[in-house]
A = this chain, B = another copy of it.
């Protein structure tokens, strides 16, 4: 893969932006990558670890002359950030983002995009439970999906360039309608995160079980939930508020199903439970076949065993 853009500006320097920088450098996809973060501390850290070719003290300075500007801030901050930097955008440039919700980001950002600048929202389906400028790594997007959510009238050449960038960073790219994106992600990511946060909170509240027992005897199941529930609080607050309708709909369905299973437990209806669990086992098989996870037995994790 070779150069796609002359200059890329990353606005916000957390897990995704820092991984993008290292992935862009790995493949030589841009001549220069500038970066900006609101907090002085983050900018200092970025300069110290060599994150971005040039760290700027304002968003406008970072986007000046950039061919691609990627908004890597929490979904709730996208609109304000776009408004701030819009006057400095180069004609013909592309603005994109990495938000986990697309309709709300489009509504917040699109009105600020000057005519002659392309806006192509995107969402890389990759992340870890860590956050901040030091959490990024160049392989984060390898073999992961990046969903592009362009408007119907979007410039095809600009879309293709952004697609090349993401492919160059290791991702597989697909296009999707924003509302459908928000529904799919509410199922595969947003609702599961809220559920994990909830379960971990319940455990923390239970006075008859001590925190140390919850931690000590955290078996498969809860341990995986805690990893999910360790994700960045600000990012996730914004995701739930920005994808309110789809998330609440899925949670409503979830509660219905949970009540049905609780009733089966209460009544001792083993057949209902067994049938349900057999069905869900099939889905796992599909995910492994789709290459989205490994079939290695993960519950007895090798790394943890070495502690």
Contacts and interface: CB of A to CB of B under 8 A. Distances in A.
Contacts of A299: 126-129, 227
A151 to B, nearest CB: 21
Given A222-B189, A226-B283, A229-B281, A234 B274 contact: yes
Contacts of A196: 221
A67 to B, nearest CB: 27
Contacts of A185: 217, 219
A216 to B, nearest CB: 6
A194 B258 contact: yes
A64 interface: no
A217 B145 contact: yes
A143 interface: yes
A281 B199 CA distance: 12
From A191, A195, A253, A278, residue with most partner B Cβ within 10 Å: A195
B219 A241 contact: no
Contact-residue size bin, chain A (C-beta under 8 Å from the other chain): 35 or more
Interface in A161-200: 170, 183-185, 187-200
Copies of the protein in its oligomer: 2
Contacts of A141: 300
A280 B200 CA distance: 6
From A194, A221, A226, residue with most partner B Cβ within 10 Å: A221
A33 to B, nearest CB: 20
A219 B187 CA distance: 10
Contacts of A251: 258, 262
A49 interface: no
Contacts of A128: 220, 297-300
B202 A293 contact: no
B291 A262 contact: no
A3 interface: no
B258 A255 contact: yes
Interface in A279-301: 279-281, 283-287, 290-294, 296-301
A20 B156 CA distance: 59
Nearest to A254: B202
Interface in A251-283: 251, 253-255, 257-258, 261-262, 265-266, 268, 270, 273-274, 276-281, 283
B297 A230 contact: no
A107 to B, nearest CB: 15
4 A-B pairs closest in CB distance = A128-B297, A230-B284, A192-B221, A233-B277
10 contacts: A129-B284, A141-B300, A185-B219, A194-B258, A200-B280, A201-B279, A204-B283, A216-B290, A226-B293, A227-B299
Given A129-B284, A206-B250, A240-B265, 18 more contacts: A128-B299, A139-B300, A190-B221, A192-B221, A192-B224, A195-B199, A197-B261, A201-B257, A201-B280, A226-B284, A230-B281, A233-B274, A233-B277, A236-B273, A238-B270, A251-B262, A255-B255, A294-B303
